[in-house]
Amino acid sequence: GLLLETKSKDMARLVARNSPLHFSEWDLIHQARLGLLPLHGAPGYQPPDKSCRRCGQPMETTAHVLNVCVNNMGRMTSRHDAILDRLQEAINKAGHTTHKNRAYGNSSLRPDLVVDTDDGAL
């Protein structure tokens, strides 16, 4: 996993320790973060057709594949729900009460997560 040194709040001080990820997985993470994946719309890659191979949208970019492509919607939802579950678990362990996917107050708003505090909900 990644650990943040407690003496510094600088995100550049993240240090990998005992990570279950292999080098190829770290490589994929950094390629995605820097926009260097071998996608049709990636900078420096000039295929004759830049459209998405899965859904046919005009430009296959990292942002499209990870966030918009309808063929990946199930994976996106699973990823979102997994992150939400981890957040809820961490907040609950800190002693707060949380509510997931419930209407807030009298409004029609339904936030992903509501945290109850002594002063009211966040």
Which pLDDT belongs to residue 57? 93
Tokens matching residue 102: 């419930």
**Are the CB atoms for 98 and 115 separated by under 8 Å?**
yes
- CA separation for the pair 91, 97 (Å, rounded): 8
Strand ranges inside 5-121, DSSP E: 14-16, 97-100, 113-117, 120-121
pTM above 0.85, yes or no: no
Q: Which stretches of the chain drop beneath a pLDDT of 50?
A: 1-5, 10-16
